[in-house]
Structure 1
Amino acid sequence: MDLIERYIYAVGQKIWSKNRKDIEEELRSILYDNLEEISDSGEADEEKVKEMLKNYGSPSQVASRYGTSDKYIIGPRVYDAYVFVLKIVLIVLFILTTAGVIISIVTQSSDVHLGIRILELIPRYITAFATGLGFVTIVFFLIDRFDKGEESELAKEWNPDKLPKLVKDNDKVRRTGQIVSIMFVVLAIILFNAYPERVAVFYSDGSGWMSYPSLSKKALEAYLPFWNVFWGISLINSAILVRTGKWNTVTRTVKWANSLFVIGILIYMIAGPGIFNTDSVAAVSDATGQELKEVFKVLSTIMRFVYGIVALVVAGDIGYSVYKYIKDRH
């Protein structure tokens, strides 16, 4: 019955556990067994089904039965997603920090004992992991506290008539994927706006390792405002998708428009200034005695070719998504 399926869907939306499907099946079995009991003969009328669901409890109450009543920073509803995202963020931070540690060990004076250098670098790992843990925890804390959807409304006056409509499979959102996207967009915004010099060219001048910023200041001034607009729209859209748990016409249109905007940025980057810092290339060439300009010219050409390929891929993705959307609606 549609009303029962809508009820099960509403409960499932409030459970982030990896066992959600099993919980939904268990709940479905219980409800249909109860339905048979209240049916005198044949199929129970809608009013009896509504009364049964009212007595069973609101979706938020039912979902809470599969968790605990303890106090916690990250609730059981989002805990599995929290652990999944945290693992990804910590792995990425470990890789980036390790790369930085290796560079630091190589560039430091060889007069310092290796053991001392390693001990001095341990705080980098602690700081990176603490930052990642804190950032992910804050994001999920806010999601858990404010992403109630229709929960408060259903809990106030629990009525089966207020159950959300079933969502098609193609309209469902993988919230964990959207949260991962939010994390990396935020990291990109921080890196390119606050620490662009960290993206550097490293080289050895014979006495030690040196570095120069690898990104062109002129290119960043030209492209970064557009990147920030794209990232900002992506953040807002992803936040809405995490909040609602489903795609709709507005969020899809925003995604398509933002993708078209990306194509425009890529075309601009193909015709605009090169992304690499030519001053750094000249400095490295002078310090090492190696002619690197030709190498970077080839690399710049390759990058423009990559921009074009990415633009075509994005255009293809838009076309396929629009086709699927129109097909599903007819």
Structure 2
Amino acid sequence: METIDRYMHAVAQALPERRRDEITRELRANILDSLESIREQQEREPTAGEVAAVLVALGHPQQVAASFLPPQQLVSADLFPLYKQSLHYGVILVFILGLIQFAISFLNSGSMDFIDLFHGLVMKGLITFAVITGLFYVFSNPPGGKPLFNPYQCWSPEKLPPVSRSWQRISSAEQGVDFASDLFFLLLLNYSFWMPLEHVSRLAVMFADPVREWIPLLSGVMIVSLLFGLWNMVYQYWTIPKLVMEALINLGAAVILLKVSRFEQILVHTDNPSVEPVEILELANHIFSAGVFWVGMWLMFMAGWNLYRIWQLSRT
């Protein structure tokens, strides 16, 4: 019986304390019934090997304990759509934070350490994945079995919008990319407002004077775009008014970016004599100028694409 006692103890350790006595009593009774059957058939006491065979047939103690408990899963099927969406927004947040850190590093030292950027994104992404997955594990396997919340309980069929085109639904990826890029550029353009003063005084580069004249107007466009992105998160379908708004935002940002891309310098050295000059500033200006130009061209194209979609919806 010592083998059975050890087996029962191992099973009990994998059970919640409030159910240990009940389950181990039932399990021990089943084991003893199996041994009693062997005793009646063989007309002798079961050997140690036969006792072990009965326990092996039952399964590993952790498997046996799990069979007496409600099924558990990492993320339940009901919460999996919300889990995917949370991971999506978590990755976007990590990407934004990584880019901000990269931009601050460049402004401070003028160096572009892409390896450090990649390493930071990977580590932050893994931490974000672990935290979100851990939270949804708790939501999927709540203590006591009672759901902690139901994210889909407040919906009504009457509130579903009429959709005539397959592209009218705004995907999570589209929302995330737009929101992340708007927030990143808004923070980068206005670094002097949120960075500590001592950090700003140690910056190696800054925006040139002609660029800074356009920053307030471009920041206004970014803020409008951010608010519009929040609206899209709530009402995730394209309508004609929303497409008009999107076209105006894209057109306004495109005009400003195309204007800025024509400046001879976007970044210049700071006036701080204690900061060493940035050796790759000329290369950085070429990269920024080309990037700003093509982003402006892309936004110009998207403004035209929105007008085409408006024409499509107006015909339905």
| TM-score normalised according to structure 1 size | 0.46
Give the greater-gyration-radius structure (CA).
Answer: 2
| TM-score normalised according to structure 2 size | 0.47
